[in-house]
Amino acid sequence: MIPVILSGGSGTRLWPLSRGQFPKQFLPLISNHTMLQETVLRLNGVEGMKAPIAICNEDHRFMMAEQLWEIGIKPSAIILEPMGKNTAPAVAIAALTAESEDDVLLVLPADHVISDLEVFHHAIAQAKVLAEQGKLVTFGIVPTEPETGYGYIKRNALQQGGAFNVAAFVEKPDLDTAKYYLESGDYFWNSGMFAFKAGSFLQELNKFNPDMLLACRRALEAAKVDLDFIRLDKTLFSACPSDSIDYAVMEKTDKAVVIPLDAGWNDVGSWSALWDVADKDQFGNAISGDVLAVDSENSFVHAENKLVAIIGVRDLVIVETADALMVAPKDRVQEVKDVVAQLKQHKRSEAELHRKVYRPWGHYDSVDSGERYQTKRIVVKPGARLSLQKHHHRAEHWVVVKGTALVTKDDETILLSENQSTYIPLGTVHCLENPGIIPLEMVEVQSGSYLGEDDIVRFEDSYGRN
């Protein structure tokens, strides 16, 4: 089997932790590992697993590669989507990338929680047998409550190996309908996890949506290899129809079967869902960070930078980060997406970026800013190098706090050590490199009429950025 890791989501309902440029699958929400890493690690012990195929937005490519490297995983491919086209094209690209049409693909979103690994592994083994027979397998979560936030799968007659033929995929229901689904025992939550042979999926996709398959094939044939990544052709991929696996194939095929799965699954689609799976104190509070709770119950409190004290609160979600504070009743956390929409409408950076921003060469933290100035703390990994670039609207002062900096300024190259500094005038072509074996830490003070990150003209870049 080949795991196909889908990592295209933006996780807006978990703002302010999850941001456009750092979505929830790259965050350690339930353990010391990120959700992406948990998705891969929970396959340990499953026989016959090949190296995974990972699919992500091109903006997230370095986080994807680094987080897999951290857990010792070398994927067979990291495929970069220039824009999101939903799950069906992503899986089609993975199927076209597989070595053989007989390879069984195990399609897994990168942001789910599954607590009972023994049950999960058994379900995977069942799915493999059925997939090898040409079935398109989905995993239906045994519902525990009348949930209105999920789509459902209705089962039909019993198939072999404990799986059922799929009678229908149904949309998110209202509460009364969800109660009926739960009582009937014939409905499962739609998990978005699948297993099928690459050739079986491509055959059915060609039957029901040949335009999508053709667009995916063309975008992959014209793809370029960039470092460790396969970069799909943007123009050709943009012509691809956008659709989910459910709509494009699973609702139409007569080969769909569903395996019931009762393994502690949660898609962590909201703060209340994260509270459900988090460890709690004796009063039902899920707490992380520096938090003091007095006479408070059933709340989720996450503190990153400050002491957060709560007194007499019930059923609240409180999330504090370096640049944002979000407070909401637990039963209204789905509305967090509306906050993100307003941030985007007003073009505020908090929708996309944290104060601390990760780059392939390291990271920077925007410590302070005001009219015509900005101060950043910059950390460059050993051996890493920023792009050769210039700015039209700002000058920069660099002070080395720790480590060694190799600085290029036009035709001049200088080596700076701790407590030394340099000045980069506006318009100067410059580059920063860490030639040492320890991280380089610097303070950068920018000054000028415009300080946006888009005021960068790159002449040369080790990471293929424009």
Mind listing the pLDDT tens digit of every residue in the chain (466 residues)?
A: 999 999 987 778 999 999 988 999 999 998 899 999 999 999 999 989 999 999 999 888 889 999 999 999 999 999 999 998 999 999 999 999 998 999 999 999 999 999 999 999 999 999 999 999 999 999 999 998 888 888 899 998 877 778 999 998 988 888 999 999 898 888 999 999 999 999 999 999 999 999 999 999 999 999 998 878 999 999 999 999 999 999 999 999 999 999 999 999 998 889 999 999 899 999 999 999 999 999 999 999 999 999 999 999 999 999 999 999 999 999 999 899 999 999 999 989 899 888 888 888 999 998 888 889 999 999 999 999 999 999 999 999 999 999 999 999 999 999 999 999 999 999 999 999 999 999 999 999 999 999 888 889 999 888 776 6
Same domain, yes or no: 14 and 144 = yes
Give pLDDT, residue 281: 95
Same domain flag for 325 and 382: no
Span 193-219, pLDDT tens digits: 999 999 999 999 999 999 999 999 999
CA distances from 173 to 87, 143, 178, 181, 356 (A): 22, 13, 6, 9, 40
Final residue in a domain of this structure, among 241, 266, 291: 266
d(CA 90, CA 243): 10
Same domain, 130 and 212: yes
- pLDDT digit string, tens, across residues 134-187: 999 999 999 988 888 888 999 988 777 789 999 989 888 889 999 998 988 889
Residues 257, 283 within the same domain = no
In a shared domain, residues 238 and 287: no
The answer to whether residues 255 and 277 belong to one domain is no
CATH number at residue 229: 3.90.550.10
Residue 318 contacts residue 299 (beta carbons within 8 Å): yes
One domain, residues 17 and 159: yes
- Tell me the whole-structure pTM to 2 decimals: 0.87
pLDDT of amino acid 120:
96
One domain for residues 70 and 186: yes
Domain range spanning residue 433?
356-460
Q: Is the dihedral of CA 178, 179, 181, 185 positive or negative?
A: positive
Would residue 121 count as lying in a domain? yes
386, 413: one domain: yes
- Give yes or no: residues 285 and 411 share one domain: no
How far apart are the C-alpha atoms of 379 and 361, rounded to whole Å?
8
Q: For the chain, how many structural domains are there in total?
A: 3
- Kindly state whether residue 286 falls inside one of the protein's structural domains: yes
User: In terms of domains, do 187 and 72 share one?
Assistant: yes
Note whether residue 341 is domain-resident.
no
